[in-house]
């Protein structure tokens, strides 16, 4: 049987290599005459004289029978006539349990320059989302170890959540808390378009040895070409898919989807797409659901995903935030006003929602969470009057109750990064403090 399969493999191998020649370089794109390739295919551009070296590039489009390529790295030695070698296959990365605890780049290579561990399996980076009819329903909650999320916005295994915030409001800290405290089997964290300085800060300060020991970190910093930033997001998702196929419950965290969209906008504009909403090209809004729908449940395991979205000037209705919010199963809004008051995590309970929460929790839990939000909403509506001393006690029984409950609400939501709270503990405190009728 093995001999027959080997013979079949040999007979299907193409014994010829297909080459083209670089004819033009415009901005981010390289034009070549040939070879015969398709969109998404990996090619090598052969540069230098002695020794020659190969630079990886991907086919991103065609123009007037010319092939448009985009390199994964910056290329300085490219010249007219440089050979372009076709591989006839898309990008693949090496994945396996030996990769846990590693920090890799957008191509799946160790960022410290060392060799990949042995025993890894090649896995394609660009996969189709699971068939909708083969996705099991989300039935079980996932303990994240963050009291405010577990109790007020319960996340199910296989749910996809957005974390919406401006810069410097605590997204990375919240992601690190989830990575260290959640009940997931493995974490995959993608840092897309991050500043180089912040990568090591996040790994050593926020994540720490405890978090890294069950995490794979994929890094594509802001100085890298747009294609590498896109591949970083694709590679992280592929790694999560590999472990999901092994029947594991994976937590995928991506910071940020906005920078993924910006990278795709760069590529779209470079190959001649027309800019539309706020300069974003149509391909951006086509690629977002393709990326985000790959996470979730399938017949083997689950990927519970958290995607951060940068909102310029805390504008929740900017194009990428609006598109992502419509695709995901809920969102957590981090409020700058709360962060300025020293409330961390700075989650705004009145602007956040989990769309599957009511399907995976009991009625008492739901009523207690609704009651906390109702008390907080009542206090927020009257906050200006309370702060200037214009509200007189006894005017409204609801407002009086909200004023008494407000310190308890803030104390309940606040949580230090070192504090770990299980799902059952969070729900127990919520029921004791805010159960209907108390």
Query: Taking 80 as the threshold, does the pLDDT of residue 49 lie above it?
Result: no
Of the candidates 146, 327, 175, the residue with the CA atom closest to the CA atom of residue 252: 175
DSSP code string of 235-264? HHHHHHHHHHHTT-EEEEEEE-HHHHHHHH
Query: Taking 50 as the threshold, does the pLDDT of residue 1 lie above it?
Result: no
* Residue pLDDT, tens place only, 255-313: 989 999 999 999 999 888 999 888 899 999 999 999 999 999 999 999 999 999 998 76
Write down all domains in the chain, each with its CATH number in brackets.
17-90 (2.40.10.170), 93-359 (3.40.50.12240), 364-434 (1.20.1270.330)
Question: What are the CA-CA distances from residue 170 to residues 165, 364, 416 (Å)?
Answer: 8, 31, 12
Burial-class residue 11 by CB neighbours within 10 Å (0-12, 13-18, 19+). exposed
DSSP code string of 156-223? BTT-EEEEEE-TTSSHHHHHHHHHHH---SEEEEEEES--HHHHHIIIIIIIHHHHHTTEEEEEE-TT
Q: Please state the rounded mean pLDDT for residues 34-55.
A: 86
* Residue pLDDT, tens place only, 328-357: 999 999 998 898 888 899 999 999 999 999
State both tokens at 296: 């979730």
Q: Decide if 58 contacts 91 (C-beta within 8 A).
A: yes
Q: Which helix (H) or strand (E) holds 29?
A: strand 29-33
Average pLDDT of the chain, as a whole number: 89
Distance (Å, whole) CA 190 – CA 208: 16
State both tokens at 225: 């070409």
Q: Please state the rounded mean pLDDT for residues 207-219.
A: 91
Of the candidates 58, 50, 59, the residue with the CA atom closest to the CA atom of residue 77: 50
Residue with tokens 């017949």: 299
Distance (Å, whole) CA 333 – CA 60: 35
Residue 6: the pLDDT is 61
Global pTM value = 0.90
């Amino acid at each position: 049987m093995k001999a027959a399969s080997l013979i079949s493999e040999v007979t299907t191998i193409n014994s010829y290599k297909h080459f083209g020649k670089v004819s033009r370089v415009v901005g981010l794109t390289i034009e070549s005459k040939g070879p015969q390739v398709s969109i998404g295919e990996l090619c090598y551009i052969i540069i230098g004289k002695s020794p020659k070296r190969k630079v990886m590039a991907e086919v991103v489009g065609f123009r007037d029978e010319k092939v448009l390529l985009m390199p994964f790295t910056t290329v300085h030695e490219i010249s007219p006539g440089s050979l372009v070698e076709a591989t006839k296959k898309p990008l693949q990365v090496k994945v396996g349990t030996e990769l846990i605890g590693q920090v890799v780049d957008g191509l799946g290579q160790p960022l410290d320059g060392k060799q990949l561990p042995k025993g890894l399996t090649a896995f394609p980076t660009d996969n189709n989302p699971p068939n909708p009819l083969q996705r099991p329903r989300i039935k079980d909650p996932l303990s994240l170890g963050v009291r405010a999320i577990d109790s007020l916005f319960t996340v199910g295994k296989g749910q996809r959540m957005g974390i919406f915030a401006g810069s410097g409001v605590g997204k990375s800290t919240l992601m690190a808390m989830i990575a260290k405290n959640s009940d997931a089997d493995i974490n995959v964290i993608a840092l897309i378009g991050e500043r180089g300085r912040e990568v090591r800060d996040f790994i050593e300060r926020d994540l720490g040895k405890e978090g890294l020991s069950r995490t794979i970190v994929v890094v594509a910093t802001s100085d890298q070409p747009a294609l590498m930033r896109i591949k970083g997001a694709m590679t992280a998702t592929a790694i999560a898919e590999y472990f999901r196929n092994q029947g594991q419950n994976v937590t995928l965290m991506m910071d940020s989807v906005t920078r993924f969209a910006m990278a795709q906008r760069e590529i779209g504009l470079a190959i001649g797409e027309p800019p539309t909403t706020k300069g974003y090209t149509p391909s951006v809004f086509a690629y977002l659901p393709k990326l985000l729908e790959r996470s979730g449940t399938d017949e083997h395991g689950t990927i519970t995903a958290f995607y951060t979205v940068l909102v310029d000037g805390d504008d929740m209705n900017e194009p990428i935030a609006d598109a992502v919010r419509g695709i995901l199963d809920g969102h957590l809004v981090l409020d700058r006003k709360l962060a300025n008051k020293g409330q961390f995590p700075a989650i705004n309970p009145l602007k956040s929602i989990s769309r599957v929460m009511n399907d995976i929790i009991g009625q008492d839990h739901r009523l207690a969470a609704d009651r906390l939000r109702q008390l907080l909403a009542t206090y927020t509506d009257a906050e200006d009057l309370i702060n200037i001393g214009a509200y007189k006690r006894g005017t409204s029984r609801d407002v009086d109750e909200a004023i008494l409950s407000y310190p308890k609400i803030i104390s309940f939501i606040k949580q230090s990064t070192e504090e770990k709270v299980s799902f059952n503990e969070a729900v127990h405190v919520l029921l004791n403090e805010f159960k209907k009728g108390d």
